[in-house]
Amino acid sequence: MKELLMTLSRKEKIGQMLQIAPFFFVKDLKVEVAGPVEALNLDEEKIFLAGSVLGIGNPNEMIEVQQKYLEKSRHKIPMLFMADIIHGYKTIFPVPIAMASSFSPKLAQACARVSALEASTSGIHVTFSPMADLSRDPRWGRVVEGFGEDPLLIGDMSAAMVKGYIGEGYDKPGTIASCVKHFAAYGAAEAGRDYNTVDMSRLSLYSTYLPSYLRALEAGARLVMTSFNTVDGVPCTVNPFLLREVLRGRWGSNAVTISDYDSLKQILAHGVAENMKEVAYRGVTGGLDIEMQSAAYANHLETLIEEGRVEEHLLDEAVLRILELKKDLGLFEDPYRGASSELADKIVLSEAHLAASLEVAKESAVLLENDGILPFNKETKIALIGPYATERNIIGPWHWHGCWNCHEHLAEALVDQTIFVKSDPSVESYSHADVQKILAADIVVLALGEKEWESGEAHSKSNPTLSKEQKELFSWIRRIHPKVVTLLFNGRPFILDDIVTSNALLECWFLGSMSSQAIRSILLGETNPSGKLPMSFPRNVGQIPIYYNHLNTGRPYLGEHDHNEYVSKYLDVKNTPQYPFGYGKSYSEFVYENLQVSKKVFSPTDILQVTVDVTNHSDRDGQEIVQLYLYDKVGRISRPVQELKRYTKVWIHGQEKKTIAFQLSEKDFSYVMPDGSTVLDSGEFVLYVGGSSNHTIETTITLKGTRA
Ligand code: GLC
């Protein structure tokens, strides 16, 4: 590709660093160019030098755009077509926070595989997924697009999605490249308010917020999207610490860096550039390769080079990465790679793809409460009440081409059990006759939640909880009926208050195209729920941020029996979350016992074997997510009270006992220091194993003879 690069004019090189929307190529620009488009100040020449396109609707549109582009292109370098395929293309899978609840990377990989098969028929080459942003704040709307609060789980899920997109390699059809986002630490926006400032220590970056992006890159992600926030006061889109020191230096990555939507231009608002020429300067020197939907590069880079303020090799490095990506995707051989209406008609929304989505959905719901009321049987008569009883828009935010009203809603899925349906959340709307019907039901199923659009980008909430009206509806139903099953449809952990008094409480998130069928299967016991929370549920907003892998502090509160006044606690709420990370119930009952380790005293070179017996004390087969946590009791810096190191999801038949085995090595006992170095200390470690981060059995082991 270096030879090709050398043939390009400076304008052509700069063109490769521009990404714009497809309509530029198919509309009459004299007519269309208005508003924000006009502000880009792109003439026809610059438009037809652009290197990539954001979003495309269908195979024919892609072919038309690529054809028109290549006809006018001197260099005949095909454009890259990129889009947001976040949890499915047209067959929509559960939102990422729900997929994370399955604790099953293979299910995330299955979602990505189907997404790539479907999206590639529209000629899409790159997806802006996975979102590897760790978050501990449910006020942040984009929690829905991520995998929660734990670095290991996020890393596993992100890597799995990348592998799913790549499939057997770019030389095979039905494969797309992955762009991991948003680099970096976007999920730590202060107060959970989207786009807000991120201010954190190097220790938090290196130990908690950065690892999952690296996992995605190690799995094969070819692009990195920069995030809207600042780190150290420097917008990530122009941040040399992140884009050069970490990405290129520490990680040795040659991934293409791409801005988020006009995030380069936004550095004007951040106040780190006074005009678009300085924006271009900060971008290219900061390490940004492609500018999405703003035109600082297109309009000013050439001048900066002519003035000697920017060295051309910075352009060459960026353009070479872009050309290499296009080559690896086979675009020079086939610029229309994969675009095919015939294939789309055959595979998009196929029965097999919908079945795959249903399987993921079944494992992505989390049973939070159940006094035995669930599962109910086919003869059970239910009153189905609340806004989600007949809501079809439950496939989740960022469903883009997904058809939200093409699939059954809950009332249709539960038609055989339902004797009364009412979606109106206002208590006043229920007549005496309604009440009689409700009382005649064996069970009331309340379908509550937030609107699908209330989570996602720019949709943060100062108080992530149900509306007042829905809470009143719950209280009223709770008063008049003894058996209440509550279903939650939400894109983030909710503060639940009295909702936790439901006889059963099922976190349904937004489960994609097959949501209703999956929920029905769980309610009727055809599926034994196995999901676990990838993110803590706070008791109130005051607890946020609340997360399981916290430090002990110098004055830890030891629980309700600790009457010491001067300890780290609140006067008005417990320290513990309403529901902790890793928590989720099953229709089975799993008991943990006999935790064994191959050595109680071990050395850094040992591979430790850890086994635990898990018995299913029920007659119902079920899956359990067995989790192993580690606590490094003494380190050079204070260490979290526990960190997830292993998990595995296993089927255990009714009354069966299974011995689960894990292996631990030196890497698992090591940790990152504020300077980014990795260290290992001798001393005691506590091993916890269980079905949640707060129900565990434990043993203590000792590491001797570390390489200090
Ligand atoms: C949006 C989002 C990003 C998305 C991009 C392209 O603003 O922040 O996640 O991939 O723009 O649509």
- Are residues 604 and 471 located together in one domain of the fold? no
260 C-beta closer than 6 A to ligand 1 = yes
128 lines ligand 1 (CB under 6 A): yes
* Tokens describing residue 420: 């009364």
537 lies in the same domain as 671: no
What is the SS3 assignment for 368? strand
CATH number assigned to the domain comprising residue 400: 3.40.50.1700
Is 128 a member of any domain?
no
Q: Is 260 a catalytic residue?
A: yes
Q: Are residues 532 and 596 in the same domain?
A: no
Q: How many domains does the chain have?
A: 2
Q: Is the residue at 429 inside a domain?
A: yes
Last residue of a domain, one of 486, 519, 543: 543
Instruction: Tell me the CA distances in angstroms from 76 to 5, 63, 315, 577, one per residue in order.
Output: 12, 15, 19, 57
Mean pLDDT, range 620-628, rounded to an integer: 98
Q: Average the pLDDT over 425-446 and give the result.
A: 98
Active-site residue, selected from the candidate residues 150, 156, 260, 289: 260
The domain in which residue 447 lies consists of 347-543
The amino acid present at 52, given as its one-letter code, is: S
Q: Are residues 529 and 604 in the same domain?
A: no
Residue 401 confidence class, pLDDT cut points 50, 70, 90: confident
Residue 290 falls inside a structural domain: no
Q: Are residues 508 and 407 in the same domain?
A: yes
Residue 620 has pLDDT above 70, yes or no: yes
Q: Residue 36: its pLDDT value, please?
A: 59
**Residue minimizing CA distance to atom 3 of ligand 1:** 260
Residue 449 confidence (pLDDT) above 70: yes
Distance 260 CA to ligand 1 centre (A): 6
Q: Do 382 and 528 have their domain in common?
A: yes
57-61, 175-179, 214-218: segment of lowest average pLDDT:
57-61
- Mean pLDDT highest for which of 25-34, 90-99, 390-399? 90-99
CATH of the domain at 684: 2.60.40.10
Domain end, chosen from 511, 543, 575, is at 543
- Residue identified by tokens 């050079």 is 636
* Within a domain: 670: yes
Is position 455 within any domain?
Answer: yes
Whether the pLDDT of residue 461 is over 70: the answer is yes
358 and 427 both lie in a single domain: yes
Ligand 1 centre from 228 Cα, in Å?
A: 10
Angle formed at CA 554 by CA 553 and CA 560, multiple of 5 degrees = 75
Place of tokens 């970056």: 205
Same structural domain, 420 and 364: yes
Does 493 fall in a domain? yes
Q: Are residues 411 and 530 in the same domain?
A: yes
Same domain, 399 and 529: yes
In tens, the pLDDT along 511-544 reads 999 999 999 999 999 999 999 999 999 999 999 9
Residue bearing the CA closest to ligand 1, atom 11: 261
Give the helix/strand (H/E) hosting 708. Answer: none
Tell me if 308 is assigned to some domain.
no
Residue 708 has pLDDT above 60, yes or no: no
pLDDT in tens, 86-120: 999 999 999 999 999 999 999 999 999 999 999 99
Question: Which domain-ending residue is among 543, 570, 599?
Answer: 543
Torsional sign, CA 543, 544, 547, 552: negative
Is residue 361 assigned to a domain? yes
- Angle (CA) 639-641-644 rounded to 5° is 95
Same domain, 631 and 530: no
Residue 648 exposed, middle or buried by CB count within 10 Å (0-12, 13-18, 19+): middle
Closest protein CA for atom 7 of ligand 1: 261
pLDDT digits (tens, 9 = 90+) for 264-280: 999 999 999 999 999 99
Pocket test for ligand 1, best of 183, 457, 459, 460 (most atoms within 8 A of CB): 457
